[in-house]
Structure 1
Amino acid sequence: MTNKAPWASWAPLALSGLLANMIGIGIGRFSYVPLLPLMIDGGWASASGAAQLAAANLIGYLLGALAAHPLAVRLGASRVIRGAMLALLLSLLGCAPQPALPWLWLWRCLAGATGGVLIILAAPHVLGRVPAAMRGRAVGLVFAGIGVGAVFSGFVVPAFGATRLQDAWLALAACSALAILYAWPRFASDDLPRPAAGGSLLPRGAMLALLCAYPLDAIGYLPHTVFWVEYLVHGLSLPATVGGAFWAVFGAGAALGPLMTGMVADRIGFRMTVVGCMACKAAAVALPLLSASLPSLFVSSFMVGALTPGLVAVASGRVVEIVGPAAHQRNWAMMTFLYALMQALGGYAMAALYGALHSFDLLFAIGASVLALAALIAGLGGRAGMHASARG
């Protein structure tokens, strides 16, 4: 395959990566946002029990991120990706019969683990088979699956679950099964060299800068992904329907963002795109501090939504730019695990801070400041496009 290969030669594989992220993160993880109130209203779980199920998914995500690379080294990435997709489907089916809370906890933990595995392994599997000149577009397509799944869940869950919650779980499972049918044959080969298990534990240069900057985004985006609707409804006294509409705007941005940032990366390079994404995201998070008008809130919702998976996409591409395809998976796994860990710690800290001070402005200020710091750090280390740092 040459750098001038037509899109039809790599797009089906990239679409399979999109579907893997769609079911692993967009459905397996983000579908729980619209499911949560329905589960409480339907008597499936108390408010505290529903929160425990959300925590179960996060714990599973951490475990999956930790296990993904060792499993791929031992078994091959294709087998692990296929197994994770099937496990995700099983987790959705396991939740459908309205089981007891401990049983639901196990299935939600499994769903989180599959998401951690798929977000780490799907992109390297695709990018190692795509021409260098097309990697920005390809990685954008792969990570667009996160937003596509979130938008899909936002429509399917209320439509099917309003009268019978089991139908929502089954509808999500049916969609996941169709995605697996398409993606399965395209994850059949491990023709690339199997990633090495060893390597330096501490990256250097540009890879170290990226490793320090990227997990900071896990704190910077929390005000919008945890407190945004709460801010709109209770902080600004807007109707709940308006809060839901702005969450849909966030989801639409998440579906389009990776495609946009990927195309930009093909033009100006991944390094400048990562720095630009972090800087623009800092401004978008800070925008409510300057104006609470509906146009400003719309821009903030869309931009943070777009730059959430959009930044994930170009950060993954930046890893390839620095260390090369062979070391991509190991370094990407390390970054994803640190991101998940920082997200968990930052989420608890911000929740405690809000509980004590009830200040949305403080949360937005912290998020924007952390993202601005991340942009500065990500710009360090030079171009580093010669695959010289942090080889796996």
Structure 2
Amino acid sequence: MQNTSRLFWVAFLSTCLGIGLFRFSYTSLMPLLVEQKWFTASFASYLSSANLLGYLIGALLAHPASRYIQDRKLIIINAFVGSLSLLLCAIQGLPEFLYIVFRLFSGIAGATLMVLAPSYALRRVAPEIRQKLSMVAFSGIGAGVVISTFIVPYAAQINVGLGWLFLGILSLVFSLLIFIGLLDQQARTVTNYSYEPTVLLQPKQIQMVVLVIAAYALSAIAYIPHSLFWIDFIKSELHQTIHFANQQWAFYGIGSMLGAVFAFYCVKHWQLAGALWRCYLLYSLAIFIPVYLHSFYSLALSSFLTGLLNPAVVSLSSSALLTILGAQHHQSAWSMATAAFATAQLLGGLFMSFLHTHHIDYTNLFFLGAIIMSVGFVCSTCFYIIQKVNLTQLEGKN
């Protein structure tokens, strides 16, 4: 019998590492890397792109790799590889290409954890607690963002190497806990592991899967102005202090910590499809706020809501695919969704960076992001309508 509480911890810590520490921690470190003359501003941007590229590679390879290596082993290996990459980044003065390699592997490890760990846990718990597991699992994203927001910058202000070192040691501790949590899962993984059989999906199932993944991919582009440019927008275009900018990023972190819990209670109140379209609508409005409103409280509201809705949409999208396809086929669908998200994020980031370097200001990028998220809202609304029609037809037959 599987130890359910350990599965909860494994899923939580994996998303904490995969997104919170292996990826979002760099947002807090990037200005200090330039300020303390570790890297030039342009090379610091390249490192960010290397991490996004790694995330795409990991998203594409994670599910195919699980056909040859047990999920449990892949999760453990990538947790430790990602942790090692952070520790190696703490060494100053290495050739620049090595830092690109370190950030690339950090992205690969992060995506692999995001694809495999939640699905691994969902397949091993009773159906009635899967929604709760999803909430706990994706709360790890927010926990990682909070650590990156409130703790890492203080260590890094003393020395960036100390910030990297803190991240690496903390990641190693979390990786060790993941390893311990997966120890008693080995027997079942070995004896019951099987390849997924080919399944024929109904046309409406395919439509719903496409709509959920399309909306999820669009959200990856739409939130780029907040995830990549938010601090620079506040400093450069609004001419505020770094302290003011860090306060706004702290609101983002607080929102991230609550996002998956928010999604859980939305589902209890509106059901899954109803919660999804409402979250996309609110997400569109949150991204639109800084186009016109620049007061402290307006920016704080935008920061908090985008932080809240990022993990909420991740959790709801994963749950939607689970509902459509079932636990046995969730991993392959979630792998596709993560790959679509990573591709959209990488291409969208390059496109928005190109626009900004060609004198398109940040407020226009926020407007573009809000429009793109609105298209995601339309996709999620179509998903809601199809699911509602299906339920009505089933009730009519009964």
- What's the CA shift for 1:33? 1.4
Find the counterpart in structure 1 of residue 129 from structure 2: 134
- What's the CA shift for 1:193? 4.7
Name the CA distance, whole Å, in 1 between partners of 2:268 and 2:126. 11
Deviations 1:133-166 (Å, cap 9, x if unpaired)? 3333321211121221122123333332223333
Find the counterpart in structure 2 of residue 379 from structure 1: 381
Find the counterpart in structure 1 of residue 86 from structure 2: 92
SS of the residue 1:178 aligns to = helix
The answer on 1:166 being equivalent to 2:170 is no
**2:11 is aligned with what amino acid?**
G
- What's the CA shift for 1:290? 4.5
Find the counterpart in structure 1 of residue 176 from structure 2: 181
Question: Which of these residues, 45, 51, 60, is aligned with residue 51 of structure 1?
Answer: 45
- What's the CA shift for 1:263? 2.8
Name the CA distance, whole Å, in 1 between partners of 2:192 and 2:18. 23
- What's the CA shift for 1:236? 2.1
User: Contact 1:39–1:50 (CA<8 Å) still a contact in 2?
Assistant: yes
Name the CA distance, whole Å, in 1 between partners of 2:365 and 2:164. 34
- What's the CA shift for 1:54? 1.3
What are the within-5 Å matches in structure 2 for residues 299-338 of structure 1? 299-338=301-340
User: Contact 1:195–1:330 (CA<8 Å) still a contact in 2?
Assistant: no
What are the within-5 Å matches in structure 2 for residues 1-392 of structure 1? 10-98=4-92, 99-188=94-183, 189=185, 190=189, 193-196=193-196, 204-381=206-383, 382-383=386-387
Name the CA distance, whole Å, in 2 between partners of 1:167 and 1:265. 41
Over 3 Å counting, the alpha-carbon distance change for 1:234 and 1:44 in structure 2 is: closer
User: Contact 1:136–1:266 (CA<8 Å) still a contact in 2?
Assistant: no
Question: Unaligned 5+ residue runs, structure 2?
Answer: 392-398
Over 3 Å counting, the alpha-carbon distance change for 1:241 and 1:164 in structure 2 is: closer
Find the counterpart in structure 2 of residue 6 from structure 1: none
User: Contact 1:26–1:149 (CA<8 Å) still a contact in 2?
Assistant: yes
- What's the CA shift for 1:327? 0.5
Name the CA distance, whole Å, in 2 between partners of 1:72 and 1:263. 33
- What's the CA shift for 1:347? 1.2
User: Contact 2:27–2:228 (CA<8 Å) still a contact in 1?
Assistant: no
Over 3 Å counting, the alpha-carbon distance change for 1:200 and 1:51 in structure 2 is: farther
Of all paired residues, the percent bearing the same amino acid is 30
Over 3 Å counting, the alpha-carbon distance change for 1:249 and 1:106 in structure 2 is: same
Deviations 1:91-150 (Å, cap 9, x if unpaired)? 122222222211111111110100010111111112223333333332121112122112
SS of the residue 1:73 aligns to = coil
Name the CA distance, whole Å, in 2 between partners of 1:240 and 1:39. 15
Q: What's the TM-score, normalizing by structure 1?
A: 0.90
Deviations 1:211-247 (Å, cap 9, x if unpaired)? 2221010111112112222222222222221111001
SS of the residue 1:28 aligns to = helix
Q: Higher mean Cα deviation, 85-94 or 314-323?
A: 85-94
Over 3 Å counting, the alpha-carbon distance change for 1:54 and 1:371 in structure 2 is: same
- What's the CA shift for 1:11? 4.3
User: Contact 2:213–2:317 (CA<8 Å) still a contact in 1?
Assistant: no
Name the CA distance, whole Å, in 1 between partners of 2:211 and 2:159. 49
- What's the CA shift for 1:37? 2.4
Name the CA distance, whole Å, in 2 between partners of 1:317 and 1:282. 21
Over 3 Å counting, the alpha-carbon distance change for 1:194 and 1:251 in structure 2 is: farther
Q: Normalized per residue, which structure has more helix?
A: 2
Equivalences, count: 380
Over 3 Å counting, the alpha-carbon distance change for 1:311 and 1:195 in structure 2 is: farther
Question: Unaligned 5+ residue runs, structure 1?
Answer: 2-8, 387-392
Deviations 1:167-199 (Å, cap 9, x if unpaired)? 222211221122122221322422765452866
- What's the CA shift for 1:339? 0.8
Name the CA distance, whole Å, in 1 between partners of 2:122 and 2:257. 19
User: Contact 1:136–1:263 (CA<8 Å) still a contact in 2?
Assistant: no
Name the CA distance, whole Å, in 2 between partners of 1:303 and 1:83. 34
Name the CA distance, whole Å, in 1 between partners of 2:67 and 2:267. 29
Over 3 Å counting, the alpha-carbon distance change for 1:280 and 1:133 in structure 2 is: farther
Name the CA distance, whole Å, in 2 between partners of 1:200 and 1:63. 28
Q: What's the TM-score, normalizing by structure 2?
A: 0.89
Find the counterpart in structure 2 of residue 5 from structure 1: none
